[in-house]
Amino acid sequence: MKYIDIHCHLDREDYGTDFEEVLARMKEKRIGAIAIGADFPSSKKAVAIAEQNENIWACIGIHPGYVSEAFPLAARVEDELLGLEELIKSPKVVGVGECGLDWFRLDLASAKTVANKQKELFEKQIEFAIKHNKPLMLHIRATQNSFDAYKDVLEILNHYKKEAGGKLRGNVHFFAGDVEIAKKFLDLNFTLSFAGVITFIRDYDEVIKYVPQERLMSETDAPFVAPVPFRGQRNEPSFVIEIIKKLAEIRGEDFDSLNSAILANAKRVFGI
């Protein structure tokens, strides 16, 4: 393995017609990847893919976007977590998620109810990760022009950190906060990953320069948000090389040196 994509969704139908070719390109370029679950069915698929491919691992969890006002939280969580308890027995499961808070699409009429359910779902998964000593793969999306969801996640994590200590750890996927927010996650021993959006907008240059090399991760979030020069196409893990190139360019660092550090970070955090 020469490069790592720590967050992609290989279970999706977007890969239905050429999945084997996608895998072949990964192997040709020596790409490792972590396939991410968003609910029990997708987590199950991610684990199956990981078990069939030595260069792929899996995270299992429930995405906050599945929560709605009608979401039967207690029953759903109980069923899903029972399923996740079985999946986590696989040696290819290296983390819990993606989980977290998503305030971006909250409907004002039901915002409080949905927000409380998202928080409860997130807390259940934090407890699940601590129980099994696995890192978290965090999904955090704030309302427009705000860092509210990041601040709410930090409040929850700080509560658990008091008792869990070093067992509470992980990565913030598709980080879109500023330097101040980044510092608070770094203080909690989390890493931050950046995706293809950094190749065509400059909003994150400052925070990318700020993050210490030993806390930086690369991801595609495939099949979404393909990097330049593939923008507009379906994304895939082999495109992660372009993201690492851009990270090195923004930071003014040698590509090979930064890539080696990112690979070491993924091995350290996820035990791959």
Angle between helices 240-251 and 255-270 (to 10 degrees): 120
Percent of the chain with pLDDT over 90: 86
Domain boundaries, the chain: 3-270
Question: Burial, 96: exposed, middle or buried (Cβ in 10 Å; 0-12, 13-18, 19+)?
Answer: buried
Per residue in 202-217, pLDDT (tens digit) is 999 999 999 999 999 9
Q: What beta strand segments (E) does 118-196 contain?
A: 136-141, 170-172, 190-194
What is the reported pLDDT for 76? 66
Please give the DSSP secondary-structure letter assigned to residue 226.
Answer: P
Rounded average pLDDT over 126-145: 95
Question: Over 80: is that where the pLDDT of 137 sits?
Answer: yes
Whether domain 3-270 has CATH 3.30.390.30: the reply is no
Mean pLDDT of 34-42: 96
pLDDT for residue 134:
99
pLDDT at 70 over 70: no
| pLDDT of the residue at 167 | 96
Per-residue pLDDT at 74? 54
- For residue 160, give every residue at least 6 positions away whose Cβ sits within 8 Å of its Cβ, in sequence order, or none: 123, 126, 127, 130, 168
124, containing H or E segment: helix 111-131
Q: How far apart are CA 135 and CA 133, in angstroms?
A: 7
| pLDDT tens digits, 164-198 | 999 999 999 999 999 999 999 999 999 999 999 99
pLDDT score for 47: 99
pLDDT at 259: 99
| Rg of the chain in Å (alpha carbons) | 17
Q: What is the pLDDT of residue 68?
A: 67
